[in-house]
Chain A
Amino acid sequence: MKKLIFCVFLSGILSGCAEEGLKDRAISFKQPHYFPQINFPEGNEPTHLRFELGKKLFYEVKLSKNEDLSCASCHRLPAAFTDGRAVSSFHENEFARNAPTLANLAWSPYFMSEGGVPTLELQALGPIHEKHELSLSMEELIDRLKSSENYSALSKAAYGRELDAFAITRALACFERALISGDSKFDRYYFLNSNDYSELEKQGMALFFSERTQCSSCHAGPFFTDYQFYSLGFEDSDIGLERRTYLASDRGKFKTPTLRNIELTAPYMHNGSMSSLEEVVSFYNEGGGQGATRETRIRKLNLSAEEERALVAFLETLTDWNFVQNEKFLAAEQD
C-alpha cells in the first residue's frame, strides 16, 4: 500500500514537471545608448517565451484565411521588414498602401499611416482581421492554433493563459518591439565617432540637417521621424489623415516614415509610386506635388545634381546591415 501511494505521489510530481516543462525568463532588448529607454506596457514586459511565441505567430501562415500568408509575407527581414511591392494588398483596395518598415516600433506613439491605433498590441489585430490582408476571424484563428500543443504550452508559459486574442496580440507586439535598428554607418559616425564617412556622405548629411532643405525638421531625432502628419502634395485617391479626422485640411497627410534602412525599403511613398531614392530626392528638389494641403516646408530646393547625389549617399548610410541579417528575427525551424 505504501508503495502504491509513493508511486501515485511520484507520478503526480512527474506530470507536474511535464506541464511546467517550459520555463520563461525575463529578457532585455539590446538597444543603442543613444535611443531612449523603451516603456513596455504593463503585463507585456519582454520574456524569452513571449518573444518566441510572437516570432512563431509572425511567420505563421495559419493566420491567413487560405493559410498561404503570414505577417512576414509583407514584412520580410532582408527588406527591413517591407516587401518590395508598391502596395501590400492582395486584393483590390482603395486604401492599399506601401508596407511600412517595422524597425523601432517600440518607440512609436501610435500606428498606421493615420495614427488611429494607440498600441502595438492593438495594431496586431488589424492585419489579421482586415479582409484585404490576412482576412481571418480571431475565433477561427484560435480554433486553428489551439490544436497545436506548442502554441498552447507557449501561451500558458508566457502569459499564464490559454491561447486567446490577448496572448496572440501581446506576443506579436513583444516580437515586434524587439525589432530595434540603430547600428548603421551613420550611427557609428554620428554617435560613436567613427571616421569612415566619405566626403560625399558628409556633404549629404550637412544638407540633410540644414535649414536649406529642412529634411531633418520632419525626419527628426534618432528614429528619423517626428511621428506627425504631412502632405507632400500627392493628388491620388488616398485621402490619408482626412479619413480619420474628416477635415479637408488633412487630405493626403500621412505619418512621417522613418528613414532608417531606407535604402532597402523601395519603392517609396504611401502609394509606392517612386522606385528609387534618386527619384524621391528629385521629387523634393522640385518642390513636391501640387496638392492643396502640401506642407509649406516642401518647396523647390534648387539642389545641384551633385547635392542630390550627396543626399542619396547620406540616406544609404542609414542602413543597418546587422539588423537585416539578424537570424534571431528569422523563423525558427517549423515543428
Chain B
Amino acid sequence: MKMKIVNNYFFVVLLALFLASCGEESPQAPKPKVHLKFVPTYNGQPLSIDSVYTNSFGQQLRVENIQFYLSNIYAHNGSDSTLLKQAFMFTLLQPQTLSLNVSPQAFSSLSFGLGVPANLNKNVDPSQYENSNPLSVQGSNGMFWYWNTGYIFVKVEGRYELTGTPNAPLMDSYSYHTGDDPLYRILHFNTGNVSLSEGDARTFNIEVAIDSVFNRPIDPIDLSIDNLTHTTSNFPLAERVTNNFVSAFHLQ
C-alpha cells in the first residue's frame, strides 16, 4: 500500500514536469520584424556592374565593388533608443535586405552608423569573434587594415576613362577605401510613427544612390585627380568620399 502511494506521488510529479516542459516548448508568437532593404542605384536606376556611367566631368566609369559597414542600428521612440543590430557588412551590387527583430514595437525613427564605432574599431582583434560575426577575420571579408588596425568603413572600386568617348575601354582603376574614427558618420531617418504587433513586419526601402559618390552637386569628384585613397594615403579625399556616400542614403 505504502509503495502504491509513493508510485502515485512519483507519477504526479513526473506528469507535472512533463506538462511544465510542454509549456516551455510551446511556440511563441513571432516577434515583429523590420526589413531594411538597401537598393543600390545610379541616376535613379538599379545599379548594374555592366553599365558604363558618365560623371559630371564627362568621364566614364564602371562600379565593380561596393562594401560598407553599418553599425549601431537603433530604433527610437521618443527618448528611448533600442539597439537592433551591432554591426553588419554589406556587399551591395544587388539589393540586400537586413531583417531585424524589433522590440519595443513602436518607434518613430531609425538610425545607424556608417562604419564601425570607435569602441569596436581600434585596438580590436577580429580573430576574437566567431566567423559568423561581420567583425571577424572572415566576416570582415577584406574590410580590415592589418598594418594599422581598424576596419575599412566603405569601399568603392571600379574602372574609369577620362575622354568620355563612347565605347572607349575603361583602362584605369579607381579605389576608395575610407575608415578611421574621424570618418564614422551617424545617419537618422524619420519613419513616422510605426507600431507593430506580434507577427507584423514592415519593410523600409533605403536607396543607396551610388552616383552621389561621384556627382554630389556640392562636391563632385574628378577622376583625373581623385581616383585613389586608402584614407591614410589621401585623407581629404577619403573625407569627401565619406560625406558623398552619406548623402547617397535615402529612405523611400
Are the CB atoms of A243 and B233 closer together than 8 Å? yes
Chain B residues lying within 8 Å of A130, measured Cβ to Cβ, are 146-147
Chain B residues lying within 8 Å of A165, measured Cβ to Cβ, are 126-127, 136-138
Are the CB atoms of A121 and B146 closer together than 8 Å? no
Chain B residues lying within 8 Å of A122, measured Cβ to Cβ, are 125, 127, 146, 149
- Category for how many chain A residues contact B: 20 to 34
Which residue from B127, B142, B148, B232 sits with its C-beta under 8 Å from A169? Answer: B127
Are the CB atoms of B131 and A164 closer together than 8 Å? yes
Q: Which residue, of B136, B232, B233, has the highest number of chain A Cβ atoms within 10 A?
A: B232
Closest to A115 in B: B148
Are the CB atoms of A121 and B125 closer together than 8 Å? yes
Chain A interface SS verdict (over half)? helix
Are the CB atoms of A116 and B148 closer together than 8 Å? yes
In addition to A114-B148, A129-B144, A138-B138, 20 A-B residue pairs with Cβ atoms within 8 Å of each other are A112-B148, A117-B146, A117-B148, A117-B149, A118-B123, A118-B149, A119-B125, A122-B146, A122-B149, A126-B147, A129-B146, A137-B138, A165-B136, A166-B127, A166-B128, A169-B127, A170-B127, A243-B148, A243-B233, A246-B232
Chain A residues lying within 8 Å of B126, measured Cβ to Cβ, are 125, 165
List residues 207-252 of chain B with CB under 8 A from any CB of chain A.
232-233, 235
Q: How far is the CB of B190 from chain A (nearest CB, A)?
A: 35
| Complex Cα spacing A126 to B148, Å | 9
| Complex Cα spacing A117 to B68, Å | 22
| Complex Cα spacing A215 to B189, Å | 59
Question: What are 12 A-B residue pairs whose CB atoms fall within 8 Å in the complex?
Answer: A117-B147, A117-B148, A118-B123, A122-B125, A138-B137, A168-B127, A169-B127, A170-B127, A243-B148, A244-B148, A246-B232, A246-B235
Chain A residues lying within 8 Å of B142, measured Cβ to Cβ, are 129, 137
Are the CB atoms of A116 and B128 closer together than 8 Å? no
Which residue from A116, A138, A170 sits with its C-beta under 8 Å from B149? Answer: A116
Q: How far is the CB of A53 from chain B (nearest CB, A)?
A: 15
Give a binary string over A232-247; 1 marks a CB under 8 Å from any B CB, 0 the rest: 0000000000011010
Tally of A-B Cβ pairs under 8 angstroms: 58
Q: How far is the CB of A170 from chain B (nearest CB, A)?
A: 8
Give a binary string over A148-166; 1 marks a CB under 8 Å from any B CB, 0 the rest: 0000000000000000111
Are the CB atoms of A125 and B232 closer together than 8 Å? no
Q: How far is the CB of B230 from chain A (nearest CB, A)?
A: 9
Closest to B150 in A: A116
Chain B residues lying within 8 Å of A166, measured Cβ to Cβ, are 127-128
Assess whether A92 is interfacial by the CB under 8 Å rule.
Answer: no
| Complex Cα spacing A24 to B147, Å | 32
| Complex Cα spacing A215 to B135, Å | 43
With contact pairs A165-B137, A246-B235 given, residues A126 and B146 touching in the complex (Cβ less than 8 Å): yes
Q: How far is the CB of A119 from chain B (nearest CB, A)?
A: 7
Assess whether A139 is interfacial by the CB under 8 Å rule.
Answer: yes
Are the CB atoms of A125 and B233 closer together than 8 Å? no
Chain A residues lying within 8 Å of B137, measured Cβ to Cβ, are 125, 138, 165
Chain A residues lying within 8 Å of B128, measured Cβ to Cβ, are 166
Chain B residues lying within 8 Å of A118, measured Cβ to Cβ, are 123, 149
List residues 112-145 of chain B with CB under 8 A from any CB of chain A.
123, 125-128, 131, 136-138, 142, 144
Which residue from A116, A137, A170, A246 sits with its C-beta under 8 Å from B147? Answer: A116
Closest to B145 in A: A116
| Complex Cα spacing A126 to B147, Å | 6
Q: How far is the CB of A208 from chain B (nearest CB, A)?
A: 32
List residues 133-183 of chain B with CB under 8 A from any CB of chain A.
136-138, 142, 144, 146-149
Chain B residues lying within 8 Å of A117, measured Cβ to Cβ, are 146-149
With contact pairs A139-B138, A243-B232, A244-B232 given, residues A114 and B127 touching in the complex (Cβ less than 8 Å): no
